[in-house]
């Protein structure tokens, strides 16, 4: 996979992949290609019918709804942590929405841009109850299962080094293999972003016997990425995400948006494309934001049904609540 992507970079013509605009390319194809996780419940995983669901998946659908007017016109490309950046760089995907942490190196040296934060996360540890550990500070000498090529891997090394502790890194390619290794007893600890730990716990043979330790050792702002050099496309992805957050703030949801069309509220009128800048600056139709909310839902709906209380993961909103609700989820206004 990495190698085929590499060939794309080697042989591909600069003008074709960077095509005058990604938007045009997407419209011409008639679908969006979106890189997602190979399988992480709550963020991106296919159900029995092969239909992808999850928060990351819904970001892809929102962009498809905004650009093509149809949230179903997405082709999902499952990628491992190791494959994801090359796939985006080489033009194999239009958008990477795969629980990826926004870091300086990634933003500055990979030729990529982060279009915002879709989920505020932090790295945690999971152990089996039988181990009798109650804090990450007691983990010196433990074997730790971890996914290769992630920021998690680097934070882990820093954390143990700072604490003067030793560990054996047991490194796997996919989060699924990490869970399997933990389940089989190859390691004492599984470390990852906390949201992932909850998701992976569902995969264990006895989920009730695993606990998440209280320590959070890093900031992990997760969000979608695009290639550098196409500002229009960058804006589209950035504002698709903003639209979902703003919709929640404005009290617009997939259930009530049609009834709000008659609303007198100027903010809602601007949002629905009946007033103001509309979609013209991004070459989108005027009702692009309306399409996102109607077909995918607002941020709160997406959170609830995928990872929140309406899902098996039951993760608290916490940091991911709206700023007006005690969280830090904040999007620039539609004006």
Considering only CA atoms, give the Rg of the chain: 20
Cα 8 to Cα 12, 98, 129, 249, distances in angstroms: 5, 21, 47, 41
Q: What DSSP line would sit under 190-234, residue for residue? A: EEEEHHHHHHHHTTSSSGGGEEE-S-----EEE--EEETT-HHHH
46 or 149: whose CB is closer to other proteins? Answer: 149
Tell whether residue 106 is a contact of other proteins (CB under 8 A).
Answer: yes
CA triplet 33, 39, 42: central angle to 5 degrees? 95
Helix (H, G, I), strand (E, B) or coil at 329: strand
Least Å from the CB of residue 65 to other proteins: 27
Least Å from the CB of residue 8 to other proteins: 9
In the range 84-103, which residues lie near other proteins by CB under 8 A? Answer: 85-86, 89
Which residue of 21, 69, 73, 110 would you call a contact of other proteins, by CB under 8 A?
110
Which residue of 19, 165, 171, 267 would you call a contact of other proteins, by CB under 8 A?
171
Number of chain residues interacting with other proteins (CB under 8 A): 55
Beta pairing, strands 52-53 & 45-46: antiparallel
Tell whether residue 141 is a contact of other proteins (CB under 8 A).
Answer: yes
80 or 263: whose CB is closer to other proteins? Answer: 80
Q: Which of the ranges 173-181, 203-211, 245-253, 275-283 carries the binding residues for other proteins, by CB under 8 A? A: 173-181
Tell whether residue 162 is a contact of other proteins (CB under 8 A).
Answer: no
Least Å from the CB of residue 241 to other proteins: 22
Where is 294: in which H helix or E strand?
helix 288-295
Residue 46: DSSP 8-state: E
127 or 199: whose CB is closer to other proteins? Answer: 127
Q: Which of the ranges 165-173, 202-210, 231-239, 319-327 carries the binding residues for other proteins, by CB under 8 A? A: 165-173
Distance from C-alpha of 100 to C-alpha of 118, rounded to nearest angstrom? 10
Least Å from the CB of residue 122 to other proteins: 18
Q: Which of the ranges 105-113, 205-213, 233-241, 320-328 carries the binding residues for other proteins, by CB under 8 A? A: 105-113
Q: Which of the ranges 11-19, 202-210, 269-277, 311-319 carries the binding residues for other proteins, by CB under 8 A? A: 11-19
Q: Which of the ranges 55-63, 144-152, 265-273, 318-326 carries the binding residues for other proteins, by CB under 8 A? A: 144-152
Question: Which position has the token pair 């999850």?
Answer: 54
Q: Count CA atoms closer than 13 A to 184's CA, side-chain side.
A: 9
The token duo for 259 is 């009834």
Distance from C-alpha of 231 to C-alpha of 235, rounded to nearest angstrom? 6
Which residue of 39, 69, 78, 111 would you call a contact of other proteins, by CB under 8 A?
111
Burial of 18 (0-12, 13-18, 19+ CB in 10 A): middle
Tell whether residue 209 is a contact of other proteins (CB under 8 A).
Answer: no
Tell whether residue 253 is a contact of other proteins (CB under 8 A).
Answer: no
Short-list 93, 75, 30, 44, CA closest to 226: 93
Cα 90 to Cα 147, 239, 297, distances in angstroms: 23, 24, 31
Short-list 185, 187, 151, CA closest to 169: 187
Tell whether residue 153 is a contact of other proteins (CB under 8 A).
Answer: yes
Which residue of 70, 218, 228, 321 would you call a contact of other proteins, by CB under 8 A?
228
Binding residues for other proteins, rule: CB under 8 A, are: 2-3, 5-6, 9-14, 17-18, 81-82, 85-86, 89, 105-106, 109-111, 131, 138-143, 148-150, 153-154, 156-158, 160-161, 167-173, 177, 181, 184-186, 188, 227-229
């Amino acid at each position: 996979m990495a190698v085929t992507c590499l060939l794309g970079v080697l042989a591909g013509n600069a003008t074709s992949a960077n095509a005058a605009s990604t938007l045009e390319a997407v419209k011409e194809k008639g679908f969006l290609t979106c890189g997602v996780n190979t399988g992480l419940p709550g963020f991106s995983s296919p159900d029995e019918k092969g239909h992808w669901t999850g928060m990351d998946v819904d970001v892809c659908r929102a962009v498809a709804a905004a650009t093509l007017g149809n949230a179903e016109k997405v082709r999902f490309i499952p990628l491992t942590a190791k494959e994801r950046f090359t796939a985006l760089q080489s033009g194999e995907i239009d958008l990477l929405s795969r629980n990826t942490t926004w870091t300086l190196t990634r933003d500055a040296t990979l030729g990529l841009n982060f279009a915002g934060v879709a989920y505020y996360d932090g790295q945690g540890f999971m152990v089996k109850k039988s181990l009798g550990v109650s804090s990450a500070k007691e983990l010196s000498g433990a074997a730790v299962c971890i996914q290769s090529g992630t920021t998690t891997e680097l934070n882990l090394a820093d954390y143990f080094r700072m604490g003067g502790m030793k560990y054996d890194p047991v490194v796997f390619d996919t989060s699924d293999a990490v869970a399997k290794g933990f389940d089989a007893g190859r390691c004492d600890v599984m470390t990852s972003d906390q949201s992932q730990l909850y998701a992976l716990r569902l995969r264990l043979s006895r989920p009730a016997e695993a606990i998440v330790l209280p320590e959070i050792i890093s900031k992990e702002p997760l969000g979608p990425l695009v290639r550098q050099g196409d500002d229009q496309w960058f804006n589209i992805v950035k504002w698709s995400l903003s639209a979902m957050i703003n919709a929640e703030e404005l009290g617009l949801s997939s259930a009530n948006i049609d009834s709000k069309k008659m609303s007198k509220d100027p903010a809602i009128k601007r949002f629905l494309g009946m007033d103001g800048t509309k979609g013209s600056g991004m070459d989108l139709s005027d009702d692009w934001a309306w399409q996102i909310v109607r077909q995918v839902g607002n941020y709160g709906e997406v959170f609830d049904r995928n990872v929140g209380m309406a899902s098996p993961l039951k993760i608290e909103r916490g940091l991911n609540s709206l700023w007006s609700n005690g969280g830090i989820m904040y999007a620039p206004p539609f004006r």
